[in-house]
Amino acid sequence: MLVLGIESSCDETAAAVISNGKMCSNVIASQITVHSQYGGVVPEIASRKHIEAINLVIKQALNDAKVTLREIEGIAVTRGPGLIGSLLIGLSTAKALAYALDIPFVGVNHLEGHIAAAFLAEKAPSFPFIALVVSGGHTNIYLVKNYHNFQLLGQTRDDAAGEAFDKGAKLLNLGYPGGVVIDKMSKNGNPQALVFPRAMKDSPDFSFSGLKTSLLVMLKKRGCDFPESQLPDVAASYQEAIVDVLVEKTIKAAEDNGISRVVVCGGVAANSRLREKFAAATAARNMELFIPPVILCTDNAAMIAAIGEIMLKNGRRDSLDLNAVSRWPIA
């Protein structure tokens, strides 16, 4: 089945074509340069940029896949969770195309899409597995029993890990996006140089607000400005506190549930230190680790098309009055 996927939940406008579980194209138009001057995503600007980019992105995805719009048999689009204004651009476009082409479409949960990205990699997991979905807006651990059966095992009580990276980078005046710049700077730092808190050690849930506060208090005590030579150590130590908690809680969830397969997905899964520590932790316990390629960790439409194709093949159809939702838990 030839499926067009559309993703516009935040600040990436993306389109992709999937055929029988194989990625034919995956095009992403990023807004990083637009939002970097504000230190984060501005929802109204994001919506306007989606309007400007979406038709061009879809056209490029079709060209890259060497197919025409008339050959598309179904459309999958992110319905939520995300920024309502951004979601509506993608959803409205998908509904218009489905109506004009007289083909079915489905609204996809963005989190299910991130998990489905693991099935687009060269080595795909089998069920059941533990999935850590970690991004700028989400930090959740699931027991995944099949494509649509998720049991929530742990979640953040306040900020997501990606948000902690962004706000930490902002406090250190490192720029945006925070996860990328902290990851890069940390490569030259000592992750043991400074001690940051690891919250909720005895809980399956996460909390990163205290970590940000700890960094802020330390900066105030030291006069806010670190010598440039010390910044890599600060960044590495801050990153280590986030990564340690993500790895430890995910591995514990796998052990507690007797699961030997671990999937790590979402934008933060692109972090090199997170990948390194997960590789070591799973190898030490004879567990299988599945992390999608970096391009499939950040928001993309291939992951939306992947789960959308499965839904369409199972007979799922959504009506043209489907609306976007900012919050949409999958378990």
- pLDDT digits over 73-130, tens only? 999 999 999 999 999 999 999 999 999 999 999 999 999 999 999 999 999 999 999 9
Confidence bin at 224 (pLDDT 50/70/90): low
Q: Show the tokens assigned to 105.
A: 């479409």
Q: What average pLDDT does the segment 272-291 reach? A: 98
Distance CA 200, CA 203 (A): 5
Same fold: 2-116+297-313 with 125-291? yes
User: In the CATH scheme, what architecture does the domain 2-116+297-313 have?
Assistant: 2-Layer Sandwich (3.30)
Please determine, looking at this structure, whether the domain spanning 125-291 carries the CATH number 3.40.50.720: no
Measuring CA to CA, how many Å separate 43 from each of 40, 134, 261?
9, 21, 36
Distance CA 59, CA 27 (A): 10
Position 229 scores a pLDDT of: 84
Domain ranges, ordered by start, for the chain: 2-116+297-313, 125-291
pLDDT at 233 over 80: yes
Give the whole-number percent of the chain exceeding pLDDT 70.
Answer: 99
For the chain, the helix, strand and coil percentages under 3-state DSSP, each to the nearest 5: 45, 20, 35
Degrees, nearest 5: CA angle 93-270-82 = 35
Q: Write down the residue that tokens 């050690």 correspond to.
A: 201
Distance CA 29, CA 41 (A): 15
